[in-house]
């Protein structure tokens, strides 16, 4: 049973416990008002307000407020604020944890900061994160929706917090999809509100807004005279950094009005996996924003085609072709050292993480040109060398195995890690990536020269699988190192 079901059910026997964590007087005032509004919807609502100090003494402003609800103040002495909050949730098992944020993105891999991120990842109760102080007389509340399960829950919360407010639930339709997407959005919103009571449905206005992206539509609408925006945070997802995902986080950062984001209650299994992934992500120091900027500049610069790129790749492809025909591993390794494939391919992985479409197409175009050069050079070598034919190594590179995929996955991890660390040799990681890509790439051209489609198709399969594996694993490592989608990118 989660917060929203608790809000709508009549429960005269069980108390509803709200834990509020505060660090400043302004936060104390703002979150207390929200906690009271939620607690008043329960017959036995209780509020417990926690502040954490190094001395263990409460701040001067931390005094019991006049309230219709039972309010208990607690001060804890702890160096780690997040750990103190989690300890409190485990000991007292609240139904809801209410946190405040300024909405600014944390440094490195942290979305909301070193305190909030671990709490949101691990707390098993419902979590509400609030930015800004909510007015006592709310007039208009905006609830963006996409037809998922969280929007109706947000509608219920809005009705309980402000029964007389005008509530607008909005679907953002992709403006490129035209009227069909608008109609689809209207249908989703109507379906979503079917289970609400007639009184609630009458108080809710349905609206569909066309915009380039959901985030753009939300931010535009939020500036149209609303007093509060409520967003539902998903309860699934690894790449969303185990928190809310990108849209709610950016809304917390950029919305011009007070914002609430809700993360539904976690099961014990979900909490375990989030803590496990959080521990894995914590093994490596995240890059600072300055380090990330330097790496981005280097990757963008290296992803542009240049005469040096074409010359060295041409020479590497010729060497690889000769090595394959000679069945000589040493010559093939020499070709791997020369091949300049790493930067553009890792650039594709980084561009996906950043959500930078122009960067992706530039890196992809450079990679495609490299692929074309490798195939053409392999074809010419196979065509021009007298008596050229399939060798043991050539045949071997037409039969993909799980070991080939393992090499590619490891090469992608090594390459992304190496370019992210100045004290690690990126050249060696580049050799590993070239080993996974250059031989099968040249082998495609050799197969075409021999008019042997089995060789060409088998080599193409190995190359394609390795390319996808390297891009995917490099993207994961870049996330691990702290890279995040850039605000404003479509």
Length of the chain: 490
Six-digit token pair at 155? Answer: 């509608």
Q: Can you give the residue ranges of every domain in the chain? A: 1-135+227-283, 138-222, 289-480
Six-digit token pair at 147? Answer: 């037809």
Q: Is 490 exposed, middle or buried (0-12, 13-18, 19+ CB in 10 A)?
A: exposed
pLDDT in tens, the chain (490 residues): 444 455 444 444 478 899 999 989 989 999 998 998 888 878 888 999 999 988 888 999 999 888 888 899 999 988 888 888 988 998 889 999 999 887 655 444 444 556 777 787 778 888 888 988 888 888 899 998 875 556 666 787 788 788 888 899 999 998 888 888 889 888 888 888 787 778 877 888 899 999 888 888 888 998 899 999 998 765 444 334 433 345 777 777 788 899 988 877 776 666 666 666 666 666 666 777 788 888 888 888 888 888 888 898 898 889 888 988 998 888 877 777 667 778 889 999 999 988 888 999 999 999 999 999 999 999 999 989 888 888 888 888 888 888 888 888 888 888 888 888 876 666 666 666 777 788 888 999 999 999 999 999 999 998 899 899 999 999 888 888 878 776 544 4
The pLDDT score that the predictor gives to residue 51 is 93
Region of 400 please: left (phi>0), alpha (psi -120 to 50) or beta: beta
Distance CA 208, CA 249 (A): 22
Sign of CA dihedral 386, 389, 391, 397: positive
| Separation of first and last alpha carbons in the chain | 36
Region of 237 please: left (phi>0), alpha (psi -120 to 50) or beta: left
Q: Is 451 exposed, middle or buried (0-12, 13-18, 19+ CB in 10 A)?
A: exposed
Per-residue three-class SS string for the chain: CCHHHHHHCCCCCCCEEEEEECCCHHHHHHHHHHHHHHHCCCCCEEEEEEEEECCCCCCCCCCCCCCCCEEEEEEEECCCHHHHHHHHHHHHCCCEEEEECCCCCCCCCCCCCCCHHHHHHHCCCEEEEEECCCCCCCCEEEEECCCCCHHHHHHHHHHHHCCCCEEEEEEEEEHHHHHHHHHHHHHHHHHHCCCCCHHHHHCEEEEEEEECCHHHHHHHHHCCCCCEEEEECCCCCCCCCCCCCHHHHHHHHHCCCCEEEEECCCCHHHHHHHHHHHHHHCCCCCCCHHHHHHHHHHHHHHCCCCHHHHHHHHHHHHHHHHHHHHCCHHHHHHHHHHCCCHHHHHHHHHHHHHCCHHHHHHHHHHHHHHHHHHHHHHHHHHHHCCCCCCCHHHHHCCCCCHHHHHHHHHHHHHHHHHHHCCCCCHHHHHHHHHHHHHHHHHHHHHHHHCCCHHHHHHHHHHHHHHHHHHHHHHHHHHHHCCCCCCCCCC
Question: What CATH fold (topology level) applies to the domain 1-135+227-283?
Answer: Rossmann fold (3.40.50)
The pLDDT score that the predictor gives to residue 350 is 92
Greatest CA span in the chain, whole angstroms?
Answer: 95
CATH number of 138-222: 3.40.50.620
Six-digit token pair at 284? Answer: 């490596």
The pLDDT score that the predictor gives to residue 445 is 92
Please state, as a whole number, how many other Cβ atoms lie within 10 Å of the Cβ of residue 278: 17
The pLDDT score that the predictor gives to residue 101 is 84
* Strands 126-131 and 259-263, bridge-based pairing: antiparallel
The pLDDT score that the predictor gives to residue 226 is 93
Is it true that 1-135+227-283 and 138-222 share their CATH fold? Answer: yes
The pLDDT score that the predictor gives to residue 243 is 36
Smallest CA-to-CA distance from 339 within 298, 380, 291, 371 is with: 371
Six-digit token pair at 335? Answer: 């070709």
């Amino acid at each position: 049973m989660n917060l929203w079901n608790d809000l709508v059910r009549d429960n005269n026997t069980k108390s509803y416990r709200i834990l509020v964590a505060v660090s400043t007087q302004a936060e104390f005032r703002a979150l207390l008002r929200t906690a009271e509004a939620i607690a008043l919807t329960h017959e036995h609502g209780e509020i417990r307000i926690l502040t954490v100090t190094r001395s263990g003494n409460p701040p001067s402003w931390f005094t019991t407020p006049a309230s219709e609800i039972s309010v208990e103040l607690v001060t804890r002495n702890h160096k780690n604020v997040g750990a103190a909050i989690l300890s409190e949730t485990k000991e007292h098992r609240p139904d809801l944890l209410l946190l405040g944020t300024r909405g600014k993105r944390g440094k490195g891999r942290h979305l909301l900061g070193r305190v909030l991120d671990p709490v949101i990842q691990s707390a098993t109760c419902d979590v509400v994160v609030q930015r800004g102080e909510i007015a006592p007389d709310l007039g208009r509340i905006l609830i963006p929706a996409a037809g998922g399960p969280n929007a109706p829950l947000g509608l219920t919360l809005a009705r309980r917090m402000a029964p007389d407010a005008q509530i607008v639930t909005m679907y953002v339709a992709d403006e490129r999809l035209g009227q069909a997407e608008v109609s689809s959005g209207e249908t989703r919103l109507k379906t979503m509100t079917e289970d609400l009571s007639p009184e609630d449905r009458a108080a809710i206005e349905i609206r569909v807004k066309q915009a380039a992206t959901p985030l753009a539509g939300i931010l535009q609408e939020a500036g149209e005279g609303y007093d509060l925006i409520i967003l539902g945070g998903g309860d699934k997802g690894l790449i969303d950094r185990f928190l809310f995902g990108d849209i709610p986080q950016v809304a917390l950062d950029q919305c011009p009005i007070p914002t609430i984001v809700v993360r539904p209650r976690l099961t014990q299994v979900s909490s375990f996996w989030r803590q496990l992934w959080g521990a894995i992500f914590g093994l490596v120091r995240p890059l600072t924003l300055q380090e990330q900027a330097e790496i981005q500049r280097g990757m963008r610069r290296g992803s542009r085609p240049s005469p040096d790129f074409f010359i060295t790749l041409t020479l590497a492809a010729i060497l690889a072709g000769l090595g394959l025909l000679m069945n000589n591993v040493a010559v093939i390794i020499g070709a791997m050292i020369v091949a300049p494939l790493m930067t553009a391919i890792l650039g594709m992985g980084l561009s996906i993480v950043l959500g930078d479409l122009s960067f992706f197409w530039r890196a992809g175009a450079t990679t495609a040109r490299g692929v074309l050069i490798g195939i053409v050079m392999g074809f010419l070598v196979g065509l021009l060398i007298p008596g050229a034919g399939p060798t043991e190594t050539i045949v071997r590179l037409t039969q993909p195995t799980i070991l080939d995929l393992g090499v590619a996955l490891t090469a992608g991890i090594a390459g992304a890690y190496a370019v992210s660390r100045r004290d690690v040799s990126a050249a060696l990681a580049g050799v590993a990536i070239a080993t996974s890509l250059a031989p099968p790439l040249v082998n495609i051209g050799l197969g075409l020269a021999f008019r042997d489609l089995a060789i060409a198709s088998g080599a193409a399969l190995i190359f394609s699988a390795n390319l996808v594996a390297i891009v995917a694993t490099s993207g994961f490592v870049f996330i691990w190192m702290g890279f995040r989608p850039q605000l404003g990118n479509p």
